[in-house]
Chains A and B, each alone.
Chain A
């Protein structure tokens, strides 16, 4: 998006064949630098702790755990931006207790629950009112998890959406999730 504007990528999850191939080729080119495609967050923490890795994509959880273990690490959002993930609650369409489900969703959105979950799980709360409660639960945790970050901060994060054939521009030639999955399997080899 930033280094090769000629590819015309507008959204990292909407890639046509040429854009997708260019992306995969870059990953292939970087493979000799890779120590491990980690599967568990604890794996990445170990890799950094033991000096097997020096740079990697991470959640605040890994960084905070490593900092707490006195590992000399720091996280930042690169100038190119970063990818992100939103954890969501789902309601089954077959539920017999729809009012209950809504009450639950309302409950988990309250500042107190959001704050507790953020600290327990190591993620940023959606409800910005959770910030003050987070700081009373664990000092400085609000800033640590970017819960008080300005909108500008979140604008540079591209949150995951499942790739489908329909591109955002009305065309239908984007690579879908199955193709992403196959390319990833092939890349890991």
Chain B
């Protein structure tokens, strides 16, 4: 046991003894070792993360005095009742969830062949180059990339200019929900490619050989071997694309049109313009609940093993 401690550290007698006793206690009781490793991060996690969520949830039952703007600490379900009966809040939530789902599906469709090529067909040099290309946009500012899309989609933008050059009619996608969908799909694509790549890379080549030996053609191997084994990766990626879209409010502001409000925008306006933090908190529980349900389904599909 003493061999584990470095005598060159020169600790004096009693301190060295204390350290030795602590080491011994850790050795005799493995749970103590686990506790001392996980304890500090858990405390930070609970204090910073869970506490903030709890505060959010608790404040959603409060209200604000309309005249003074002071928070009234009386418990009521009024905020949730208003959310339940307000058609606008349903529309906004439905729009947010639908676009998040559309972005996820789009990214999965684009990412799969790309990740497949990277994992199974590309040589090491091409693969490294593709990795750089996938990760490079993440080094540029989010805002710069969204504004770049505005230059493309604008009425007099690059897209319409190109369409005009080849004699096609102008596309009016600037400041619409279609623009929001396109920009989100672009921004979150790397978060889909990486887990799908990881899942595809893990499939042993012998499985594919076995499938061929048993007489399966390319399509059948893809359907029965590759896709089922890559699915957890796709689901893991979808957690990112779905939750990131669900919580975003900047892209809808910048490229959205007259009906592009997301849950985040309503929350932001509720805090910023009417200072009604409790109502904003109540509305913010909606994406939280949606994401909770989504994670449960994802766990069923084995996404957490692919992360």
Which A residues form the contact surface with B (CB < 8 A)? 31, 34-37, 39-40, 43, 46-47, 49-52, 164, 176-178, 181, 185-186, 188-189
Q: How far is the CB of A86 from chain B (nearest CB, A)?
A: 18
Q: Which of B154, B155, B156, B269 contacts A185 (CB 8 A)?
A: B269
Bound CA–CA A89/B67 (angstroms): 22
Given contacts A51-B156, A52-B154, contact A188 B258 (CB under 8 A): yes
Bound CA–CA A35/B258 (angstroms): 6
Chain A: CB-nearest residue to B255: A36
Cβ–Cβ < 8 Å partners of A52 in chain B: 154-155, 174-175
Bound CA–CA A178/B67 (angstroms): 9
For the A-B complex, the count of residue pairs with Cβ-Cβ distances under 8 Å equals 57
Question: B121: CB under 8 A from chain A?
Answer: no
Contact A51 B155 (CB under 8 A): yes
The total of chain B residues at the interface (CB under 8 A) is 27
Contact indicator per residue, chain B 137-161, by CB within 8 Å of chain A (1) or not (0): 0000000000000100011110000
Question: B266: CB under 8 A from chain A?
Answer: yes
Contact indicator per residue, chain B 263-299, by CB within 8 Å of chain A (1) or not (0): 0001001100110100000000000000000000000
Contact B257 A181 (CB under 8 A): no
Q: How far is the CB of A23 from chain B (nearest CB, A)?
A: 17
Cβ–Cβ < 8 Å partners of B258 in chain A: 31, 34-37, 188
Q: Which of B87, B253, B276 contacts A178 (CB 8 A)?
A: B276
> What 3 pairs across the A-B complex have the smallest Cβ distances?
A50-B154, A34-B258, A51-B155
Contact B66 A188 (CB under 8 A): no
Cβ–Cβ < 8 Å partners of A188 in chain B: 258-259, 261
Question: B254: CB under 8 A from chain A?
Answer: yes
Q: How far is the CB of A140 from chain B (nearest CB, A)?
A: 29
Bound CA–CA A176/B64 (angstroms): 14
Given contacts A50-B174, A52-B154, contact A36 B257 (CB under 8 A): yes
Contact B150 A46 (CB under 8 A): yes
Chain B: CB-nearest residue to A31: B258
Contact A50 B266 (CB under 8 A): no
Bound CA–CA A49/B155 (angstroms): 9
Cβ–Cβ < 8 Å partners of B9 in chain A: none
Question: B91: CB under 8 A from chain A?
Answer: yes
Q: How far is the CB of B269 from chain A (nearest CB, A)?
A: 6
Q: How far is the CB of B97 from chain A (nearest CB, A)?
A: 15
Question: B256: CB under 8 A from chain A?
Answer: yes
Q: How far is the CB of B115 from chain A (nearest CB, A)?
A: 35
Bound CA–CA A23/B69 (angstroms): 26
Contact A177 B274 (CB under 8 A): yes
Contact B174 A185 (CB under 8 A): no
Chain A: CB-nearest residue to B259: A189
Q: Which of A34, A37, A46 contacts B154 (CB 8 A)?
A: A46
Contact A189 B91 (CB under 8 A): yes
Q: How far is the CB of A103 from chain B (nearest CB, A)?
A: 30
